[in-house]
Amino acid sequence: MTGVWAEVVGQEAATAPLRAAAAHASAMTHAWLITGPPGSGRSQAARAFAAALQCARGGCGECRECTTALSGAHADVTVVATEKVTISIDEVRGLISVAQTSPSQGRWRVIIIEDADRMTERTSNVLLKSIEEPPPRTVWLLCAPSAEDVAVTIRSRCRIAHLRVPDPEVVARLLTERDGIDPELALECAHAAQSHIGIARRLARDPGARKRRDQVLALATEIRGVGDAVLAAADLVKVSEEDAAAATAERDAEERNELLRTLGADDGGRLPPALRAQVKQLEDDQKRRATRHKRDVLDRAIVDLMSFYRDVAIVQTGADVPLVNASHRGHIEQVARRGDMSDTVRVLDALALARERLAGNVAPLLAIEAMLIALRPRVRD
């Protein structure tokens, strides 16, 4: 595909209704739900659609309307990309008032909510009315992993475009053509990321990220007993904390200075009590963001281990399917030989349970310890 759709790779069928709506007014709908697994390009598809709606040539990818809509800088395209656990009811009220205004320059007023699954039922109900009867030039684009992640009242009023997991070959081609990555490395990273475009790109560009992933996969062969598991769990949690700290520290300080400037207070001086509450609110948000980042790093490690044991299962069943971790074939075969399918299933269950526990706010160290203990080779009697 060309123009603004060029980077929405492997989604020709899913994006056909969006492209048709941008081309013909009769195919237009005012509320869309774009679903697809993480990394399939939901937010990219939403931005491409917004650009196609604003562009006089239907999404050429070159004009100012296109480039600003794609980058999130278009005055009539509002993008909500929250890093918080939930989208607050006040944020949604703010969006609804934006939705009521006519586009200032573009042809449409477009509002993109990237993580519509992070709205509580109550918040969704506030949004409902605006989605049902939006002003004539307003379009809502909600994104979520699946339709079931969004309140039924909302999704029943949206047209759904369902993105699928793109083939690794398609992701690799994008990395090569857009980011100039060597084709062989691009394909290896696309497989390792299980076609998650953002993760594939990070792996391809950052040797440190590839090394950290290799270290996680090595746990499958390195853990021999409970002692190893406990030590490795402490390591993994520490790495996730450092990663979260590095990713958020600079931004936290910038945001704080910006807020103090807006409030008219210079850094260092005492804040009047009325302003302290706002600073406290920002700090709470930042703390939540760091926690989420830490959990995301751990979740990624679990997903990587799952892909390793999926490969083990493939070797054990002799299925003719490409391995996700082809460069680790030696270790995969070693683990496949030392156990049988029931062992592999048991480990996969333990990994799935750890993911659930992390999402359910169990202390990360406890969840990871229990999970890694399950990676020990079973003692046979």
Task: State the residues that interact with Zn ion by CB under 5 A.
Answer: 55, 60, 63, 66
Closer CB to Zn ion, 52 or 154, in the complex: 52
Beta-bridge partners for 159: 32
In the complex, least distance from residue 77 CB atom to Zn ion, rounded to whole angstroms:
13
Closest approach, Cβ 61 to Zn ion, in A, equals 6
Closer CB to Zn ion, residue 66 or residue 358?
Answer: 66
In whole angstroms, give the CA distance from residue 356 to residue 368.
11
Please give the order of strands across the beta sheet that includes 138-144: 77-80, 109-113, 138-144, 31-35, 159-162
Residue 28 CB, nearest approach to Zn ion (Å): 18
Please state the closest distance from residue 72 (CB atom) to Zn ion, in A: 16
Task: Give least dist CB 71 to Zn ion, A.
Answer: 13
For Zn ion, the closer CB: 74 or 210 = 74
Tokens of residue 208, six digits: 């440190």
b or e along 54-73 (b: 16 or more beta carbons within 10 Å of the residue's beta carbon)?
bbeebbbbebebbbbbbeee
- Would you say 33 and 161 are in contact if contact means Cβ atoms under 8 Å apart? yes
Determine the residue with CB nearest Zn ion.
Answer: 55
Report, in Å, the least distance between residue 159 CB and Zn ion: 23
Q: Which is nearer to Zn ion, 60 or 323 (CB)?
A: 60
Q: What is the CA radius of gyration of the chain?
A: 23
Sign of dihedral through CA atoms 186, 189, 191, 193? negative
Name the phi and psi angles at 10, rounded to 5.
70, 20
Beta strands (DSSP E) in the chain are: 31-35, 77-80, 109-113, 138-144, 159-162
CA distances from 335 to 109, 321, 332 (A): 55, 18, 5
Residue with Cβ nearer Zn ion (60 or 89): 60
Phi/psi for 6 (5° steps) reads: -60, -35
| Letter string b/e over residues 349-361, b meaning 16 or more CB atoms within 10 A of that residue's CB | ebbebbbebbeee
Task: Give least dist CB 312 to Zn ion, A.
Answer: 48
Q: Which long-range contacts (CB under 8 A, 24 or more apart) does 347-354 make?
A: 347/309, 347/374, 347/375, 348/306, 348/309, 348/310, 348/313, 350/374, 350/375, 351/302, 351/305, 351/306, 351/309, 352/306, 354/302
| Burial tier of 139 (Cβ tally within 10 Å: 0-12, 13-18, 19+) | buried
Choice between 18 and 219, CB closer to Zn ion: 18
CB of 79 to Zn ion, least distance (A): 18
Nearer to Zn ion, 66 or 354 (CB): 66
CB of 69 or CB of 301, closer to Zn ion: 69
Nearer to Zn ion, 56 or 352 (CB): 56
Taking the complex as a whole, the smallest distance from the CB of residue 5 to Zn ion amounts, in Å, to 12
